[in-house]
Structure 1
């Protein structure tokens, strides 16, 4: 097991809040760190033992081809003629886990000699910890859609994100996983909530930059979103949460109430990429104090030699405004259930009448111990079973 350094413990002790309404004890975070390290190392060993199998190699080949085709099609659809940016990152001043070069644009070219293996392969030994908090802003019942951008509050750098779930025990894809994605907009505001520090226009009825998808036969869920902005107390991040055995309703929506939680995680982004994005509009109108990856409370819990919370990515063109394509493989144990984890909680839910708060916040207040209304992922008392998936019309998938 990886030892917990004095530096990490000191950092943990210094954190009281991140999202507004979120608080954590240093003791609990230390316990989560130990559990995370253990789970990650076990998962990494399992993946390594099966990664050379014929099925695993075939999946890798399909994934490389798929990612290359996606980038090709996005560029064609957007009329991008210029080659992708070829700059490489220089991160000597960042910690060791950040120093891995996730920017694959430098190796991506557009001719017959391009090595798709070099560009679009993925490191299946990288695991995203399921013990990481979903934060106080998880909303159940979001629209089943891959394009989570809406007409309002979604200006920013386009991000095409592919997430692939792999079973750590078999190295095989995990199909039919219900994957929720959400992040704040370019100026640091989340939809779907109405709390101090994050007053979303439309409150609980707003849905921008949120959506849910089922993984396909290769364990893949794809989303069109924007690169997230920042807000006080947290580094730039994207939330992911997955359920197995979710139910597809007759109206085409997905119900995850009482479905096992197989993964809770947050993706982080390189500081140089974040800085470049935030020089553009409307990110550059955000005057809130910035928190870096090194200063973030949960990047400490994410980072480990056994897994990597930063997606690989390529620039779609020669300017950041052309957008990004990013991908990550996430190793999960599809037989586990984190529903009872203290850091899993449902903050709100959508139904045919709109959005509703459950009163849940991480770390305190309204079910902060995971036992309040919706705090442990169960439907509020008296609500019809399976009916909390949103009846709102779904947007066209990208």
Structure 2
């Protein structure tokens, strides 16, 4: 039976190519789960702008998008990552773009190597390890990254993932002035049976010239990572503007408000090639309870 929404005044069915933006967006929603390309917050905003009911978006979003705002970041991340890994584990997906590691990787490629330090393999990366135990302040953020084979969609268990990002002031440990002796907001973990690693961290700043982001490298296994062996994939996670705005309105992130206003995903030196479409995290949570950023990547 023809849907009356897609018929003309004479009752004839309108060709799909001429049904307009609302039809296109609704079609995109149904494909979202397989593609995993939009964050839940960003998708809701797109739908609202097009006049499409957010009920449809809620139904299509990952389970994390409807998680309770009072849920702990770790619990939300676990549920999100597991559901995401299961949902598309049997379907091929696009390979995440290769990106620069930037000037502050501390992976032995730019003056510093933290990967061979005892203590780098850890889940909670908020504090330094070794000689210092300083903790980076900021809005809590759990980062759940799921690694899959792009050709098959199969979860890649046992891979090593090195992840790092800037602090609330936009500075990088081991490099930036005043924190050269800190190594917080850096860590290595092994992907689980679902291909997922989950890091406990804080929300990074937006510093001048870049869109808010998180760096990561994927290795064949943890042993290869800590030996600074061959890298399988180097890329970055983009954080969606709607969540950035909420976090940057809190104390300590004042500089980020101005910096983000001066850039965009479409102008960013890393994400502009496909507007971050394969790298935008799906977000859940709140400023008070902390956020979870989830992303599935194909390698």
TM-score (norm 1): 0.49
What is the DSSP-based 3-state SS (H/G/I as helix, E as strand, rest coil) of the residue aligned with 2:288? helix
Any idea what SS the aligned residue of 1:163 has? strand
Q: Give the distance between the partners of 1:188 and 1:294, measured in 2 at CA.
A: 21
Q: How big is the shift at 1:153?
A: 5.5
2:254 maps to 1:299:
no
C-alpha distance 276-103 of structure 1, shift in aligned 2 (>3 A): farther
Instruction: Give the corresponding residue for 2:232.
Output: 262
CA deviation string 1:10-58 (max 9, x = no partner): xxxxxxxxxxxxxxxxxxxxxxxxxxxxxxxxxxxxxx9xx8xxxxxxx
The answer to whether the 8 A contact 1:180-1:212 is kept is yes
TM-superposed CA distance for 1:106, in Å, is 5.6
Counterpart contact for 1:154–1:209, Cα < 8 Å: yes
Post-superposition shift, 1:168?
A: 2.0
Selected match of 1:185 from 134, 142, 167 = 167
Partners of 2:159 and 2:219 within 8 A in 1:
yes
Alignment partner of 1:217 is 2:217: no
Query: Counterparts of 2:296 and 2:42 in 1: how far apart (Å)?
Result: 24
- Deviation (angstroms), 1:173: 1.8
Secondary structure at 1:272 match in 2: helix
CA contact (8 A) 2:265 2:275 kept: no
Instruction: State the 1:300 CA deviation.
Output: 1.2
- The Cα shift of 1:134 comes to 1.1
- CA offset digits 1:331-370 (Å, max 9, x no partner): 11xxxxxxxxxxxxxxxxxxxxxxxxxxxxxxxxxxxxxx
Query: What is residue 123 of structure 2 aligned with on the other side?
Result: 146
Task: Quote the Cα distance in structure 1 between the aligned partners of 2:253 and 2:298.
Answer: 32
Q: Which runs of 5+ in 2 are unaligned?
A: 1-30, 35-40, 50-56, 70-78, 108-113, 128-132
Report the 3-state secondary structure (helix = DSSP H, G, I; strand = E; otherwise coil) of the residue aligned with 1:263. Answer: strand
**Offset at 1:310?**
1.1
Partner of residue 242 from structure 2, selected from 261, 264, 272 = 272
The count of residues paired between Structure 1 and Structure 2 equals: 221
SS at match of 1:280: coil
Report the counterpart of residue 292 of structure 2 in structure 1. 325
Residue 205 of structure 2 is matched in structure 1 by 229
Alignment partner for residue 173 of structure 1, among 149, 155, 160?
Answer: 155
- Cα distance in 1 between the residues matched to 2:62 and 2:138: 20
2:140 corresponds to which residue? 158
1: distance between equivalents of 2:271 and 2:220? 25
Q: Which has the higher helix share?
A: 2
**Alignment check: 8 A CA contact 1:87 1:106 kept:** no
- Counterparts of residues 71-150 of structure 1 (less than 5 Å): 89-91=44-46, 107-108=66-67, 120-121=83-84, 124=88, 127=94, 129-140=96-107, 141-142=114-115, 143-150=120-127
Q: Quick one: distance in 2 between partners of 1:217 and 1:107? A: 24
Q: TM-score, normalised by structure 2?
A: 0.63
Distance 2:167 2:200 in 1: 13
- The answer on whether the counterparts of 2:136 and 2:167 sit within 8 Å (CA) in structure 1 is yes
SS of the residue corresponding to residue 270 of structure 2 reads helix
Residue 187 (structure 1) shift: 1.2
Q: Distance in 1 between matches of 2:42 and 2:267?
A: 26
Aligned ranges 1:10-49 → 2 under 5 Å: none
| Cα deviation code 1:243-300 (max 9, x no counterpart) | 114527xxxxx5232x331111111111111011000121125576332223211111
Aligned-partner Cα distance in 2 for 1:279–1:163: 26
Judge conservation of contact 1:104–1:313 (CA < 8 Å) in 2.
no
Tell me the distance in 1 between the aligned counterparts of 2:251 and 2:205: 11
